[in-house]
Every structure is written in structure tokens, then in C-alpha cells.
Amino acid sequence: MKMKILIADKFPEQYVQKLIDHDLEVIYQPKLGENDLIEAAKEVDILVVRSTKVNEATINNSKQLNLIIRAGAGVNNINIAAANRKGIYVSNCPGKNSIAVAELAIGLMIALDRRIPDNVIDFRNGVWNKAEYSKAEGLYGKTLAIVGYGNIGKEVATRALALGLNVYVKDISRIEGYGIKDFSEFDQTLPKADIISIHLPATPETKGLFDDKLFSYMKNGALLINTSRHEVINEESLIKAVKEKNIRVALDVFKGEPEGKDGEVSSQLRELKNVYVTHHIGASTQQAQNAVAEEAIKIILDFIHSGVIAHWVNRAKVTDSHFQLVVKHYDKPGVLASIMDVLRQGDINIEEVENIIFDGGLAATCTMKLKIAATDEMLSAIKNNPNVLSVSHVAI
Ligand code: 3PG
């Protein structure tokens, strides 16, 4: 039976064809919305989405869903807790659209400084205003604070350095890169920053990070760019800072972003002249979409042919294992089962297990991570198996 793949968002058609050429059944329905997925994903093995929400009902209603691929970076549109409960893999395509997002962030910096959108709007309305639009600051030598230094933050830093910006980065876990300075506290760096560019994922830790306090550290007239997730900014705090501190803002993401690809939009931000909003297009260059599609196909083919889950995001980072049992054994039917039976009788849960075969296929080594220690009696019972070559048991 052919494996069934539903692609529920826009995906370059030549890559849809590539999957079909691999003898897979591909359903390409780029216009599906969150609620359509509940039925549409019911009978598929693999679901590929971009920003379309994969909610708990879709996951619970699915009969054979095994892998959800986010054709992009952020996985906050997928209910991962629900996927965990059903043992459904979730993967993403990290780094593949970073350059596109970085290019937009740099474009928005220049757009804010030169007020390019306002220039264009006035021109379209038959207004000439060289006098007003000649009042730009220029970016060279200005201080840029990049908040979030993952794949995208790094690409922004490279481009910003080329523009002659003085680059600071803030990352929760890592600081690296030539010519980039660390700052550990927002209260010390935000007051120095002429431009702030946010590149954070939406997580419980980053939700509402940019609140009244952080805006209070910013310079009057600073430029703020957010091409990451709207959740990291408290919208009321942002509006207050725009009105009271003349903060000028460019956003590719905002609260209440429509689910569909076209239609009407409503947001209180539309009233603010100092706020530019683009249509969540950060990742939407052909180059980026091809790179993402290429990666998504690679994930699918690896999964089908070798069972390996590339960029598997919902694999447990820590398990409840405290002991490691390594058993070398003859690679014969029933040997593993008999070892595991000893553990079962002792009511020991195996958290993780890997069995690897030596060249020639005669011997194998099985590594088991155990929740609690195996007793001496259990270890003797395993050792006494004539098909077992050696046993090691250590605390980890
Ligand atoms: C991402 O997380 O990769 C970006 O937000 C892109 O979203 P999109 O695939 O809906 O354009």
C-alpha cells in the first residue's frame, strides 16, 4: 500500500511531483485551513504544513498519522503535546528559510529609516514630499541589538556587519561570531540600541517578553523589527511605546493575523503611521521555499527508507533513565526477548533501547537505558544465557 502524504499549504509544485515520482500518494491541497484538517488528515500517514494550525482535534481524529512536517522553522502552529500523546513525530526544516527572513529584516530596517512605504503611498496618492522624506538618519555606524541568535539572527548579523552596523546579540544559550558583542542584560543594551531586531521562537519563556519594562529601556525614536512571532511582543506595550516614545516599528507578524492566504485584515496597528506591517512573507522567497521543500522531501524519504526522523523536535530531551545496561550477544532470534523478559519480571521499565550488529552479523550489542537498577540476580540471569557474550551495568 502506498504511503499517503497530505500537503496542506503552498508547496512548490515541482517538489510535489518529486514525491509522486517516488511512488507516494500525494494529496496537494494548499488552501486547507485549521478546521479542514480534522477531516482531511484523518487517513494520511504524513502531513506537511507551513503556518496552518494542526490542532488537537486533527491529531486525535487521525487514524494513521505518523509524521507531521513543518515546512519552515517555527513549530508553534502544531499542538506538540497532542502529538506526543499519540506518538506522532514532529519535524521541521530549520535554517532553510533563514536567509529570506534575514533579508526581509534588513529590508525593513532600511524601509523604516527612509520611510519607503510612506514615500510610495504618497506617490500613489499624487503627493510629492522630498522635503519631508529627506529627513532620514542613515544606518551606518548605528547600534543594532539582535535578540535571538539562532539561524536567522546569525544571518541578520552577517548582513548588518556588512552595512557597517555595530552589532550586539542576545541569546539565551549561545553567543558566538566574529565582530559581535554579547550583552547579558536588556537594561544595559536596549538603551544603547538604535535598532532592535527580534528573532525568537514563540515559547512560554518568550511570550510577552517585550512588555512595558523592555520598552522603557529603549531609546526614543528607536527602530524595532519583528520578523519572528507576534507572541514575543505585548501589543498594548508596543502601541504605548509608539505613541509615547516615537518608537518606529516594522512587523512581519502581528496578533490576529488572518489564517487564509488572502482576504481582509483588521488590526489596531493599521491606525499607526509609525508601524509598518508586511504579510508574514519572511520565508516566502522562491529560493527559501525550494530549500524548505527539498528538506521536507529529504525528511520524508529518510523516514520511509530508514526510519530516521531528521530534525525530530518532539523527541524527549531528557528521559527518566538512571542506569545503562549493555549486553553483547549472539544475533539470534529470541535472545533479546529473553534478556528483556528478565527485566520485565523485575518490573523494570526500559526507557530507550538500541541494538546494533557487528560486521558479519554474528554478534550484536544492545544498549538499554533503565529507569531503575537491575539487581545482581537479574544480571546473573542475563549473563547465564549461553547466547550472551558480556554484560555491563552502570549508573548514568
Ligand atoms: C517559519 O516559521 O518558517 C516562518 O514563520 C514561515 O512561515 P510560512 O511558512 O507560513 O511562510
Give the C-alpha separation, 237 to 208, whole Å.
9
Ligand 1 pocket member 92 (CB < 6 A): no
pLDDT at position 184 is 57
> Which residues touch 147 (CB under 8 Å, ≥6 apart)?
153, 169, 170, 196, 197, 198, 199, 200
Atom of ligand 1 nearest to the CA of 51: 10
pLDDT at position 261 is 83
User: For residue 268, how far is its CA from the centre of ligand 1 (angstroms)?
Assistant: 23
- CATH of 4-96+287-306, picked from 3.40.50.1100, 3.40.190.80, 3.40.50.720, 3.30.1180.10, is 3.40.50.720
HEC-encoded secondary structure of 273-319: CCEEECCCCCCCCHHHHHHHHHHHHHHHHHHHHHCCCCCECCCCCCC
Atom of ligand 1 nearest to the CA of 93: 3
The angle subtended at Cα 21 by Cα 47 and Cα 39, nearest 5°, is: 25
Give the active site residue among 115, 159, 199, 280. Answer: 280
The CATH number assigned to the domain with range 98-282 reads 3.40.50.720
Residues forming a β-bridge with 350:
370
Ligand 1 pocket member 74 (CB < 6 A): yes
Ligand 1 pocket member 224 (CB < 6 A): no
User: For residue 261, how far is its CA from the centre of ligand 1 (angstroms)?
Assistant: 12
Give the C-alpha separation, 394 to 1, whole Å.
44
pLDDT at position 63 is 98
229 is catalytic: yes
Question: Under DSSP, is residue 249 helix (H, G, I), strand (E, B) or coil?
Answer: strand
Give the C-alpha separation, 232 to 210, whole Å.
6
Tens of pLDDT along the chain (396 residues) come to: 789 999 999 999 999 999 999 999 999 999 999 999 999 999 999 999 999 999 999 999 999 999 999 999 999 999 999 999 999 999 999 999 999 999 999 999 999 999 999 999 999 999 999 999 999 999 999 999 999 989 999 999 999 999 999 999 887 554 444 454 545 578 888 999 999 999 998 888 888 999 999 999 999 999 999 999 999 999 999 999 999 999 999 999 999 999 888 899 999 999 999 999 999 999 999 999 999 999 999 999 999 999 999 999 999 888 889 999 999 999 999 999 999 999 999 999 999 999 999 999 999 999 999 999 999 999 999 999 999 999 999 999
Give the C-alpha separation, 21 to 209, whole Å.
46
pLDDT at position 182 is 46
264 is catalytic: no
Give the residue range(s) of CATH 3.30.70.260 domains in the chain: 323-395
Q: Provide the 8-state DSSP code for 266.
A: -
280 is catalytic: yes
Give the residue range(s) of CATH 3.40.50.720 domains in the chain: 4-96+287-306, 98-282
Ligand 1 pocket member 148 (CB < 6 A): no
Cβ–Cβ contacts within 10 Å for residue 61, how many?
14
**Nearest alpha-carbon partner for 111 in 227, 266, 201, 193:** 227
Give the C-alpha separation, 320 to 318, whole Å.
7
Please give the model's pTM, rounded to 2 decimal places.
0.89
Cβ–Cβ contacts within 10 Å for residue 377, how many?
10
HEC-encoded secondary structure of 43-68: CCCEEEECCCCECHHHHHHCCCCCEE
Residue whose entry in the numeric block shows the C-alpha cell 552589532: 167
Counting ligand 1 atoms within 8 A of each CB, the residue from 70, 227, 229, 280 with the most, and so the one to mutate, is 280
Please say whether the beta carbons of 273 and 247 come within 8 A.
Answer: no
317-365 per-position pLDDT tens digit: 888 899 999 999 999 999 999 999 999 999 999 999 999 999 999 999 9
Ligand 1 pocket member 284 (CB < 6 A): yes
Please say whether the beta carbons of 366 and 326 come within 8 A.
Answer: yes
The angle subtended at Cα 221 by Cα 216 and Cα 223, nearest 5°, is: 90
Counting ligand 1 atoms within 8 A of each CB, the residue from 78, 92, 97 with the most, and so the one to mutate, is 97
**Nearest alpha-carbon partner for 230 in 266, 201, 261, 273:** 201
The residue whose CA has the least distance to atom 9 of ligand 1 is 50
Question: Under DSSP, is residue 116 helix (H, G, I), strand (E, B) or coil?
Answer: helix
The CATH number assigned to the domain with range 323-395 reads 3.30.70.260
Please say whether the beta carbons of 393 and 372 come within 8 A.
Answer: no
The angle subtended at Cα 136 by Cα 149 and Cα 179, nearest 5°, is: 30
Pairing, β 363-370 against β 323-330:
antiparallel
The residue whose CA has the least distance to atom 11 of ligand 1 is 283
